[in-house]
């Protein structure tokens, strides 16, 4: 995070994103990784939350989120364990874990 609007704008412009043919999005996994990767030493990974600071994540989508059980169509039956699996800015377990549930705990 930064106090510089220019740095923020540049970071948003460089976000690696992709589209798919289905409507639901994997927002719960993104939220889980944002929270679960809070204490990483590498500043290029995770948000690096400070324990003493107020935290807020705003998630906005025009589509429903994928939830546990939706991964069955891709053969994903291993429940999401809620741990951090980021390599740089990429989630690395998309081919191993099902989607999380609303109640998945970190």
Q: Can you give the residue ranges of every domain in the chain?
A: 1-106
pLDDT at 41: 53
**Is 70 exceeded by the pLDDT of residue 96?**
yes
Summarised one tens digit per residue, pLDDT across range 21-66 is 566 677 888 888 887 776 555 544 556 677 787 878 888 878 888 8
pLDDT at 97: 92
| Confidence (pTM) | 0.61
Question: Would you list the DSSP string of the chain?
Answer: --S-HHHHHHHHHT------SSS-B-HHHHHHHHHHTTT-SSTTSS----TTS--------SSPBP-TTGGGGGT--BPP-----EETTEES-TTTBPPPPTT---
Structurally, at CATH architecture level, domain 1-106 sits in: 3-Layer(aba) Sandwich (3.40)
């Amino acid at each position: 995070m930064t106090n510089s609007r220019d740095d923020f704008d540049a970071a948003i412009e460089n976000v690696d994103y992709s589209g798919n043919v289905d409507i639901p999005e994997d927002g719960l996994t993104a939220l889980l990784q944002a929270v679960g990767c809070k204490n990483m030493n590498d500043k290029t990974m995770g948000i690096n939350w400070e324990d003493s600071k107020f935290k807020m994540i705003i998630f906005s989508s025009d589509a429903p989120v994928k939830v546990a059980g939706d991964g069955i169509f891709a053969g994903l039956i291993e429940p999401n364990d809620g741990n951090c699996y980021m390599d740089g800015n990429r989630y690395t377990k998309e081919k191993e874990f099902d989607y999380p549930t609303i109640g998945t705990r970190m």
